[in-house]
Amino acid sequence: MQTINTDVLVIGSGAAGIATALKAAHEGHSVIVVDKDRYLGGTTAISGGWAWLPGNRQGVSQGDTREEAETYIRHLAGKSYDPVAAGVFLDSVPEAMNFFEDDARIEFQYPEKAPDYQMDTPGAKVSGRAVTVPAADARMLGHNRLRVQPYLLSYTVFGYMPEVGPDIAMFLKANQNLKAFTYAAKRVTSTWAQTLLHKRAYTRTNGNALMTRMIAAADEAGVRMWTSTSAQEILRDASGAVTGARLSGEHAGEVRARLGVVIAAGGFSGNADLRKRFFPHDPEGTNHTTPTIGHHGDSLRLAEPFGGHIDDTPHQPAAWGPVTVFHGLRGQKRWFPHLRAFGLPGLIAVDREGVRFANESLSYHDYGVEMLKNDKGREGTYGWIIADQKAMRRYGIGYAKPWPFPQTYFKRSGFLHKAPTVAALAREIGVPADRLQATLDEFNAGAARGEDPKFQRGSNWFHHFKGDMDHKPNPNLAPIDQGPYYAVKIEMGDLGTYAGLAVNTRSEVLDDDNQPVPGLYAVGTAAVSVFGGGYPGYGANIGPAMVFGYRVGRDIAAHAEERRVAKPAARKSVRS
């Protein structure tokens, strides 16, 4: 069995792991990143790629203050608020962003508008907190070009992943005007051509663009990145300090990590046994689905022998998101997370009784909270997105693309249901026809005026950002009154756990006595969320992942030196 020496070992290659590796490498340390998947990038690579980072240069220039951001986080976290952890995060954002932009040369974009998810909450801002990255040319990856996790295919348009903002707006209008159609057609055909000639398109967007840029920077900094390599056991010395890990897979052997080991292996939403323990809605492990990659509880498995444990103090144990589960052409299970689609005009969501239970223009997380409340005590957590012919023709419903795309495949896959009348649709999906019709009648009366008296949908900037800004009088509302009618089932899913390994403000894993395990760290969704169960805005997982990863990479050598100096002092004390 081979033994490899390094300064820092990072387990997991998403935003948290690569951020840690990048900063550690820039500090002059040797770094190895391992990932059990065949690809690099983790769930970040299939995400929207945004990062919620209040205190960035755009926000500061617009007058955003630390106090306002702290007020906003405190209101979202409620009783789960941790002022110390939140303060460390907010204080670290400017320094971390300077590193990623200036030293690692990762290019960020600062959108004109990217509203916080709860615009009616004190401290919320329309812009200046959420950042993203521009599309990246994958050739910057060199030999790693084909090693980055591919897109979630159901989220693409024939292989092209539209970017949130003007890009996706043009795609939404591709069936409405020639300019938009030409724009979309060029991007799709370019994707096809590049894939045919080079196995995968050069142009990467969203989370794939972020990980392309971060992995390219890590490679340039000398970070070794091993895929198809699983961490089986964390190793420690006689004093209890972590010294490395035993690996299996393509790079089986032992890695000795002089400064420490960083767990960035994701959360546990893909582990039914852990969901039974920490997700109240899933006591049998069968009432939840997740599109995340690699979130199988490895982080807890690796830390448990040291007393590592899950901190479940966040009032929501995960970042929720309604998901549709369906099947591909070869029968494979596929997922479509509804992160935006049913905030559009002409779409609503109802429960099993055919009744609206929440504002469809809430964030996916907040809508998930409402789903859980509405279905508490009932068998299963699910609902239905409902649309009419006008909305289906103009927008589609998530994965089910609008005209002129044929609907046959979307129906055969089990994604889409269609019927000529409201009553027929109700029978097909098993909801009471009279209640569904009453729901539509009530909704349509207000929507025709651009109003939603029941839930105030379309009443703030975030709602509008999820809608169609060209639709009048309200970007989020239109009557649902023209057959045929359509339905898509939504179930409870997530984008990563908020409950996670208990850590201190240095991201050191805590044992059963809440003492730090020497040399062992957890970042990203492997660790408990700094937001206490609230979801502040675009990139609520990625922002802290990058910031706390940066901090560990910056400080890990200083922590190791503290331990080295403390050992002789402890021995002297014993002799005296």
- Using the predicted structure, report yes or no on whether residue 340 has a pLDDT greater than 80: no
Summarised one tens digit per residue, pLDDT across range 275-330 is 999 999 999 999 999 999 999 999 999 999 999 999 999 999 999 999 999 987 77
| Over residues 245-251, mean pLDDT | 98
User: Alpha-carbon torsion 91, 94, 95, 96, what sign?
Assistant: positive
pLDDT of residue 19: 98
Distances (CA, A) of 417 to 230, 303, 411: 41, 45, 6
Angle at 288 between CA 283 and CA 293, to 5 degrees: 125
Distance CA 501, CA 511 (A): 10
Distance CA 339, CA 342 (A): 8
| Over residues 345-354, mean pLDDT | 97
Q: Which residue ranges make up each domain of the chain? A: 1-150+206-318+497-575, 152-199, 322-492
Contacts of 470 (CB under 8 A, 6+ apart): none
Phi, psi of 97 (to 5 degrees): -65, -40
Is the CATH number 3.90.700.10 carried by domain 322-492?
Answer: yes
Chain mean pLDDT for the chain: 94
The residue with tokens 């005590």 is: 377
Pick the CATH number of 1-150+206-318+497-575 from 3.40.50.720, 3.30.379.10, 3.50.50.60, 3.40.50.1000: 3.50.50.60
Name the amino acid, one letter, at 472: K
Summarised one tens digit per residue, pLDDT across range 29-86 is 999 999 999 999 999 999 999 999 999 999 999 999 999 999 999 999 999 999 999 9
| Over residues 390-410, mean pLDDT | 88
pLDDT of residue 155: 81
Least confident of 57-71, 93-107, 369-383, 462-476: 462-476
Confidence bin at 112 (pLDDT 50/70/90): very high
- Using the predicted structure, report yes or no on whether residue 574 has a pLDDT greater than 50: no
pTM of the model: 0.94
Confidence bin at 568 (pLDDT 50/70/90): low
Summarised one tens digit per residue, pLDDT across range 193-226 is 989 989 999 999 999 999 999 999 999 999 999 9
| Over residues 550-556, mean pLDDT | 98
